[in-house]
Structure 1
Amino acid sequence: MIEYIKGEIAELTPAQMIMECGGIGYALHISLNTYSAFQGKQSGKIYVYEVIREDAHLLFGFAEKAERELFLLLTSVSGVGPNTARMILSSLPPEELIQVIATKDEIALTTVKGIGLKTAQRILVDLRNKVKPMEAMAATSSVSGGSTAVSEEAVAALVMLGFPKAASQKAVASIQKNTPNLAVEQVIKSALRIL
C-alpha cells in the first residue's frame, strides 16, 4: 500500500491532483481542503489511500494524516463510500467535522450534498466514540511536540500487531501523557501491557 507520494505537482484542480514522482504521474482524488493546502505550490508531500475495485484502482490524496484518518472512519460507516466521504471533507474541514460529530450536529451534516438525515444519523452514531481519541491525540501532539513521530510510529506498530487503532491511540496517548520522553520501543511495550 502507498503511504504517501512526494514530488512535483503537475496539475491541480479542486477535485484532482496529478503528482509526478520518478517520472510517473499519479492521479489523486482530493477534497477542497487538500486543494486549498496545495494551491500555489510547485511540489509537496501528499498522504494516500488506495481503493481497489473490480473496475478501477483509485488513489485518494490528503494534505494531512488527520484528514485521511477521518476519511477512513467515514468510509467505515455503512452507506458512505469514498466519493461521499470526500464530499463531506470538502464541505467540512477536519477540525469542524470532529466538532460536528462530537456535538451530534445532524443539520451540519445534512447540508453536505448527498447526505440525508438517516445517513447523517448513522455517521454520528457510528463515529461518536471514534473521533474522541483523535482529539486526544491532537492534544497530546501539541503538548509534547517531539513525541508526535513516536506516537504515530507506536500506534502504527500496534495496529500492525492486530490491535484496534482507536484503542492503540488511546493507550499511546495515556502513556505519553504520564511519561512523554519514552522511546518508541518502550511506548509499544507499555501499550501492550495496557491492551
Structure 2
Amino acid sequence: MDYSLQPVPHVNLMMDTFIANSNVEDLRAVVRALLVSGPPNTSPASSTAGSPRLSSTSDLASSIPDADPIFSPQAHDLLTRARALFGAGLGLESLPLLTVLIRGTSTLRWSEDGGFVDSLAVLDGDISQAIQSATEEITQQVLALQLALSDLRAALKSCESEVVSWGGEFPFERGMLNVDWLEQSDLWIKNMVIVA
C-alpha cells in the first residue's frame, strides 16, 4: 500500500469551504486528528509542506541601535509551532524549527542584563524540552521495533518448525537472516534506550 502524499492542484470544493469557514480551534483539532490518525507519513509530510513557510529566517527579531532586540511575531509563531510539535510528542519535527530560531539569533547583539536574555533563556528551555521529546519519540520507536522484531522472529521460528515437520523447505531464509542481522546490529538501539 502506497501512503505517499502527492500535492494536488486543488482542494475538494467542500473541503475548501470547510477550511474557509472554520475557526482556528476547529482547524487545529482537525489537523491534530489527521496527524494522529493518518497514514504513517502524514506527520512528516505536513512538516515538509509547512517548512517553506516556517523556515524563513527573515524578520525573526527586530533590532534597534543601542537597544536589545526583540522577537518578531513571526519568531513567536515559529516558536508556538515548535512547542506544539514537541508538546504533541513530535520532538524530532520541532528541531528544524528551533534551528531556524537559533540561526536567526546568531547575528544579533544584546546586553547581558536586557530583556532579550530572558527570551533566549526561555528558548533554551524549549530546546531542552524538544530534545527530551525527541528522545522519548525515538525510544518509543525503538521499543516498537524491538517488539515487532521479536514477534516476527517468533512467527518465523514457528513457521520453520511447522514446515520442517512435514519435510518442506523453509521459505523465509532471507527474512530470518535479516532479522538476525538487525537484532545483532542493534547495539546502538539498546544503548539509546538505556540513555533515555
TM band (smaller chain): under 0.3
What's the TM-score once normalised by structure 1's chain length? 0.26
Which entry has the higher C-alpha Rg, 1 or 2? 2
What's the TM-score once normalised by structure 2's chain length? 0.26
Give the structure, 1 or 2, with the largest relative contact order (CA under 8 Å, sep 6 or more). 2
